[in-house]
Amino acid sequence: MIDVRTVSRVVIATVLYYIVVVALLHFLQPDTDPVVSPLSAYVLTDSGALMTTAYFVLAVSLIGLVVGLRLVLRPAIVSTIGFILFSVAAVASATAGVFPSEQQLPPQTLSGIIHSASGAIVPLTLAAAVVLITLSVRRDVRWRGVIPPVTWLTVGIAISTLLFPIMDPRGAGGLAQRVDLALVFAWMLVVAYEMPRIATVMSTMPDHAVRP
């Protein structure tokens, strides 16, 4: 049987790894403008291998989140679609790690095209999945302790995702991406931290104790 506490620790550890790597890259590659440049720009630097690991770690984190949430969320069409979208984001993140980006835009090589396509899929599927899972969480009284922060983070994620195509042409695409990921990671940490408690509560609270 899958231990929710272990899954929670894996998700938290992998999210923190990604955050530490990105923070470290800002110091290792000071010539890369974080306001303008997307995180994929670090792949083309001397620290490219480090950034590449972050893509695969994010994929592991998202799959772990799906595994854990499936054990602590009441089955529903909305949450199932959310799980599928998280899984798609995980595959896209891993694909972006396999196929590096390139300097030229629009990309000319197959690797660059695949990386760009994967990079576009990840934030869109993440935002949609977060919204759907949050809707499921809001219907379950077992999650009432974290509903406010999860809801507000979801609103922030939706707004930042919608603002990206506006900010990117104005030279702030890197900043928009970082803000969006920061909100997504905060959401993931809150949810992952809460999962073990929900699993414990489920053993004592009847399943029908969910908002209609």
Q: Which helix (H) or strand (E) holds 200?
A: helix 173-202
The reported pLDDT for the residue numbered 200 is: 86
Note if the bond before 106 is cis, omega within 30 degrees.
yes
Q: Which amino acid is at 97?
A: G
Residue-level pLDDT at 206: 52
Predicted local confidence at residue 175, as pLDDT: 94
122: amino acid identity, one letter: V
In the chain, % helix, strand, coil (3-state, to 5) comes to 75, 0, 20
DSSP 203: T
Residue 116 CB neighbour total at 10 angstroms: 19
Which parts of the chain register pLDDT below 50? 207-212
Predicted local distance difference test score (pLDDT) of residue 51 = 94
| 195 vs 200: CA distance, rounded Å | 9
